[in-house]
């Protein structure tokens, strides 16, 4: 019950990721368009031994922060990725990168709500909007065998 009350303090809850040895977990809270956004940041440092955790946790994610070496900028251009140069060592643009990703995720989620047909003017201010993707997954499962 206490965890439920804590979640009510936020308008949205997003899951994101950061860099270490092993798995590290952190949270970050920002304001976007007058809404309080809380992100869960999971860093697995790209290690395959955490694949079982990450595949279950990232399922249904709206966005991700991909970290790569500057010598591979072609990857970002090829994938048409939003590119922000950062340095964790010198603490340059790291917070801006997370804020940028969370802001973009918030706007993507907002567009999905509008695409579904909800009238945003009919929603009370501060109401939590849940985007349920279960129907899409269930439809995909029904299309297969059995």
Question: What tens digit of pLDDT does each residue of 40-88 get?
Answer: 777 766 666 666 766 776 777 776 777 776 676 776 677 666 667 787 7
Question: What tens digit of pLDDT does each residue of 95-118 get?
Answer: 888 888 888 888 877 776 555 555
Q: How far is CA 122 from CA 67, 107, 117, in A?
A: 39, 18, 11
Cβ atoms of 134 and 118 closer than 8 Å:
no
The count of other CB atoms within 10 Å of the CB of residue 65 is 20
User: Which pTM was predicted?
Assistant: 0.50
The count of other CB atoms within 10 Å of the CB of residue 12 is 20
**CA separation for the pair 133, 137 (Å, rounded):** 7
Top-tier CATH class for 2-138: alpha beta
């Amino acid at each position: 019950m206490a965890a439920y009350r804590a979640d009510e303090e936020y308008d949205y809850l997003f899951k994101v990721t950061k860099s270490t040895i092993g798995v590290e977990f952190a949270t970050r809270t920002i304001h976007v368009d007058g809404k309080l956004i809380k992100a869960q940041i999971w860093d697995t440092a790209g290690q395959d031994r955490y694949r079982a955790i990450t595949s279950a946790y990232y399922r249904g994610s709206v966005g991700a922060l991909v970290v790569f070496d500057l010598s591979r900028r072609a990857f970002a251009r090829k994938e048409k990725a939003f590119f922000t140069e950062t340095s964790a060592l010198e603490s340059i643009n790291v917070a801006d990168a997370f804020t940028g990703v969370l802001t973009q995720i918030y706007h993507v989620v907002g567009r999905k709500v509008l695409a579904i047909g909800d009238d945003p003017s009919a929603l009370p201010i501060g109401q939590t909007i849940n985007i349920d993707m279960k129907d899409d997954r269930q439809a995909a499962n029904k299309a297969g065998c059995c």
